[in-house]
């Protein structure tokens, strides 16, 4: 089974691209949503977070206090690094378990969706990498509408991320997302390629 990593910056449309792959029957692993689930449900990770941030990081009802956690790491690079140092390995372990299940189902390939695929080293856990790129003006327009945020706020978020140019240089394939029809064609071409490759 081939493992494909899919990434892209804010407003690039990587989630839209993942949905297109899913409509073709491909199983996609969303790192962001799984990280949130693991922080709530993975016993090993919960214990690490309590050790790092105190028992109060989980409320009396056992639910993760996301606002408290965000306050702990906001503007503190060391605390943020500690959080990532706990969460990223947990996601990596979960990905391996998930892939083993998919492999048992006999699928040709699967996709890991991660905004920080290269930043956190998840590209080492996949066989192929795909980045989704789009013109900055279009990315700002999409993200501002989605997040109900100003263009300036979105522009600052884009500047804080790895550039499209760097992602494209590091990725094996680039999907250019300017309109849905063009993207669909690129997705179908990659789907045919990955379906017929044997690692």
Q: Are 139 and 10 in contact (CB under 8 A)?
A: yes
* % of the chain at pLDDT higher than 90: 75
Cα dihedral 175, 177, 182, 183 sign: positive
Cα dihedral 130, 123, 49, 94 sign: positive
Once rounded to an integer, what is the mean pLDDT over residues 10-28? 94
Q: How far apart are CA 179 and CA 35, in angstroms?
A: 30
Please provide the distance, in angstroms rounded to a whole number, between the alpha carbons at the two ends of the chain. Answer: 7
- Two tokens, residue 182: 């063009």
pLDDT tens for 53-105 read: 999 999 989 999 999 999 988 888 899 999 999 999 999 999 999 999 999 99
Is the pLDDT confidence value at 121 over 60?
yes
Q: How far apart are CA 95 and CA 137, in angstroms?
A: 34
Is the pLDDT confidence value at 183 over 70?
yes
- Two tokens, residue 177: 């997302």
Is the pLDDT confidence value at 199 over 60?
no
- Name the band, by pLDDT with cuts 50, 70 and 90, for residue 49: very high
User: Who contacts 89 (Cβ-Cβ below 8 Å, separation ≥6)?
Assistant: none
């Amino acid at each position: 089974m081939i493992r494909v990593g899919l990434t892209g910056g804010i407003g690039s449309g990587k989630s839209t691209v993942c949905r297109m792959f899913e409509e073709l029957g491909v199983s996609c692993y969303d790192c962001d949503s799984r990280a949130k689930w693991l922080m709530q449900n993975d016993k090993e990770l919960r214990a690490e977070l309590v050790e790092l941030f105190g028992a109060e990081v989980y409320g009396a009802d056992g639910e993760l206090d996301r606002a408290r956690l965000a306050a702990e790491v906001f503007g503190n690079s060391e605390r943020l690094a500690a959080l990532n140092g706990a969460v990223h390995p947990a996601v990596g372990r979960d990905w391996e378990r998930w892939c083993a299940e998919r492999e048992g189902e006999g699928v040709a390939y699967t996709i890991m969706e991660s905004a920080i695929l290269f930043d956190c080293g998840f590209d080492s856990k996949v066989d192929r990498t795909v980045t989704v790129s789009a013109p900055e003006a279009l990315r700002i327009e999409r993200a501002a509408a989605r997040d109900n945020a100003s263009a300036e706020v979105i522009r600052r978020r884009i500047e804080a991320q790895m550039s499209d140019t760097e992602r494209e240089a590091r990725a094996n394939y680039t999907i250019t997302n300017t309109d849905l029809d063009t993207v669909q064609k690129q997705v179908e071409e990659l789907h045919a390629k990955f379906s017929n490759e044997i690692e």
